[in-house]
Chains A and B, each alone.
Chain A
Amino acid sequence: MTVSTTTLVAAVLVLGVGTFAFRYAGPALRERMTLPPRAEQLLGVSTIVLLAALVATATMLDGREFDSIARPAGVVVGAVLAWRRAPFVVVVLAAAGTAAVLRLLGVP
Chain B
Amino acid sequence: MRSIYRTLRADRALARDIALVCVADGVVGLSFGAITVGEGLPVWLPMLLSVVVFAGAAQFMFVGLVASGGNPVAAVLAGLLVNLRHVVFGFTVGDVVGRGWQRAAGSHVMVDESVAFALAQPDGERRRAAYWGCGVAVFVCWNLGVLAGAFLGTAVSDPAALGLDAAFPAVLLALVLPALRDRTTALAAAVGAAIALATAPFLQAGLPVLLALAGVVVALARARSASRPEEVAA
Contact = CB atoms under 8 A, between A and B. Distances in A.
Nearest to A85: B177
B172 A45 contact: no
B215 interface: yes
A48 B179 contact: yes
The bracket for how many chain B residues form the interface is: 35 or more
A51 B115 contact: yes
A19 B55 contact: yes
Interface of B: 13, 16-17, 20-21, 24, 40-42, 45, 48-49, 52-55, 58, 62, 66, 69, 72-73, 75-76, 79-80, 83-95, 97-99, 103-104, 106-108, 110, 112, 115-116, 119, 160-177, 179-180, 184-185, 188-190, 192-197, 200-202, 205, 208-210, 212-213, 215-216, 219-220
A88 B174 contact: yes
A19 B58 contact: yes
B172 to A, nearest CB: 5
B168 A23 contact: no
A49 B215 contact: yes
A44 interface: yes
A105 interface: no
A55 B169 contact: yes
A13 B82 CA distance: 16
Interface in A1-27: 1-3, 5, 7-16, 18-20, 22-27
Contact of A74 (B49, B55, B166): B166
Given A50-B85, A52-B193, A100-B163, A1 B103 contact: no
B208 A57 contact: yes
Interface in A46-78: 46-61, 63-66, 68, 70-72, 74-75, 78
A48 B119 contact: yes
A48 B185 contact: yes
B218 to A, nearest CB: 10
The bracket for how many chain A residues form the interface is: 35 or more
Nearest to A24: B107
Contacts of B200: 57, 60-61, 64
A48 B185 CA distance: 8
A102 to B, nearest CB: 8
Contact of B166 (A19, A44, A57, A96): A96
A96 B111 CA distance: 21
A53 B196 CA distance: 6
B208 A53 contact: yes
Contacts of B75: 11, 15
23 contacts: A3-B72, A15-B58, A15-B80, A22-B83, A22-B86, A26-B86, A26-B87, A42-B220, A44-B92, A45-B185, A47-B115, A48-B189, A49-B212, A52-B212, A53-B196, A57-B196, A57-B200, A65-B201, A71-B165, A75-B169, A82-B177, A91-B173, A91-B174
